Amino acid sequence: MNELMVVALLLILVFLLVRGRRVFASKGRFSDEVAEGERFAHKWGYKDTRFEFDDDRTVQVTGTRYPLCGYRMPYFLPFVEEVLEVPIRPEDMGQEVEHCDLPASVANDEFLRAVREVLNDDGVSQEDMERLVHSHGQLSVDEVYQILYHRPPERLVDVVLFPEEDADIQAIVQLANDHNVVLVPYGGGTNVSGALAIPTSETRMVASVDMRRMNRIVQVDEENFQACVQAGISGKQLEIALNGLGYTSGHDPDSLEFSTLGGWIATNASGMKKNRYGNIEDIVIEATLVTPTGEVETRHATPRNSTGVQPRSFLFGSEGNLGIITRATIKIHKQPEAQAFGSLVFPSFERGVSYLKALRPTGQVPASIRLVNNTELQLGQALKPEAKGFKKLQQDIQQFFLVKVKGFDPKQLVACTIVMEGTKDEVRQQAKTIFRLAKKYGGISGGAHRGERGYMLTFGIAYIRDFFTQFHILGETFETSVPWTNIHDVIGAVEKKLVILCEEYGVPGKPFLAYRVTQTYHTGVCIYFTMGFCAQGLEDSVGVYHAIERQLRQEILDHGGSLSHHHGVGKLRSGFLPQIQSENSIAVLRQMKKAMDPNNIFAIGNGAFAD
């Protein structure tokens, strides 16, 4: 290539980078798509959205809901086959099992007669499909994979209740206590900790209390920037309603479309924009928990108080063990004047982490900034349509600049996706600091479009999971919070252990491991892992998966990581609790439950209450 050609290419590249760096305002995520749609019974998401083969080597996503929809993906299957070293062929797709004979319902006729007098005609269901759907969450292997391709859970809920008002909940809890019936709160059904699994030893009638009809905003106090909201509202419904009034809650988890306010509180959830709006414990001012011994709540929602030990804290992470959360008073914020996206490319994950650490004390941390490792970056690239014409030229020039001019290794480079919100001046100042500081760590702007696409890509992860589950490729996500000094130790330990374990258990091909830093704090970060491997030919594929996953969790704990950052404990992680809580801490929690629920009506057995 002669010098003139190089200069011309670089001039074009400069134009593309400057053009790509411009940030732009965006509509609300659901501003032009409010239709709920029909959900899959057991898999993730909407029935109009799924991965399908175009031909033997190409797939596309049906529907129009997400940026992933409506185009051919010629790079996707080749990338996955290269990583896993196993073929992905249409003829190897598993056939879903049709469950005709489900476990019979446990009867408690007196309770059913009494509860039917409280709820509307369609407020009580004993249909088998309703029972099955309400007996699991989205834990991929133990729940979704088992139900779709093997067998239903050994124990199902016996009846599903659909309350609509606070008074319905109070009556249901009282009747359950009177008739010795177990209650299980149900929100969006999105948990991945096994929290909805019914203990097989439970012999009493179990009633699932589906909260999704309690989905109204009761009151908006614009003067004090707060709203009282029923706990069954989904994140999507909440944002549509608040956006219509010019506000936002700011809580933005990956499960936003389906998960509920009550579920966020019960799992102590975190969202992608926590830098600006806080985690759920920062957003909720007060909430109401209905227990068999009465309501737990503070009578006045004030900005802060010092009134001793606050019962409010019992709600966060309660995971259905103590009662039913009926409503909450939350902070609301004016919709930001400006929203802008951006992206950065770094030569290595280590450089990206150093950048994130340096950004924290500047006071210019954006609403969301996430650092993805090389594998996850390549996965995102593999989900793109085939580039042609000017787009192909643009990609070739950018690749030439990164690799040939800047010397980035394509197998090591990583990327940050950025969302900035606030006034126009705030966003401009954030952008100035973010991009200027990035240069000190070898970072290069990747453009606003890549930032927005990367942010929206999180909606597709669970659909990808369910597509590969058809081929008996088992995988799940697991997260941890880690001090700054332990980040690379934790990641290195998980990477090394996964390879060793897959060899020991005879896993075909190679495992997949991607990770990203999703949230940063003054003292550390949240690391979000995605792990998977092909289980074809394994004698006990589910057993092998759990043996590997348990040991990876132990590696995280051994190297200074937390048991969970935002998914909760449920049943999946309860066995690890003695390592992170003292014996007396667990005993205190159990005594607290006895005070609220002396007859163990909320006997779902999650976390510290697993026994």
Catalytic positions are 528
Q: Which residues contact 454 (CB under 8 A, 6 or more apart)?
A: 343, 370, 372, 380, 415, 417
∠ at Cα 73 (531, 381), nearest 5°?
55
Which helix (H) or strand (E) covers residue 340, if one does?
strand 338-346
Q: DSSP code of 458?
A: G
d(CA 96, CA 94) in angstroms, rounded, equals 6
Question: How far is it, in rounded angstroms, from Cα 272 to Cα 418?
Answer: 10
| Contact status, residue 536 vs residue 86, Cβ threshold 8 Å | yes
Beta partners for residue 372, in sequence order: 415, 516
426-432, long-range: CB < 8 A, 24+ apart: 426/338, 427/23, 427/338, 427/339, 427/340, 429/364, 430/364, 430/365, 430/366, 431/23, 431/340, 431/342
For 78, the enclosing helix (H) or strand (E) is helix 76-84
* Half-sphere exposure (Cβ direction) of 420: Cα atoms closer than 13 Å: 27
Q: How far is CA 540 from the centre of its chain?
A: 28
Kind plus residue range of the DSSP H or E element containing 184: strand 182-186
Q: How many CB atoms lie within 10 A of CB 373?
A: 25
Instruction: Say whether 543 sits in a helix, a strand or coil.
Output: helix
Backbone angles phi, psi at 527, to 5 degrees: -110, 130
From the list 157, 139, 271, the residue with the least C-alpha distance to 208 is 157
For 212-223, give one letter per residue: b (16+ CB within 10 A) or e: bbbbbbeebeee
434 phi, psi to nearest 5 deg: -60, -50
CB 561 within 8 A of CB 482: yes
How far is residue 183's CA from residue 597's CA, in Å, rounded to a whole number?
11
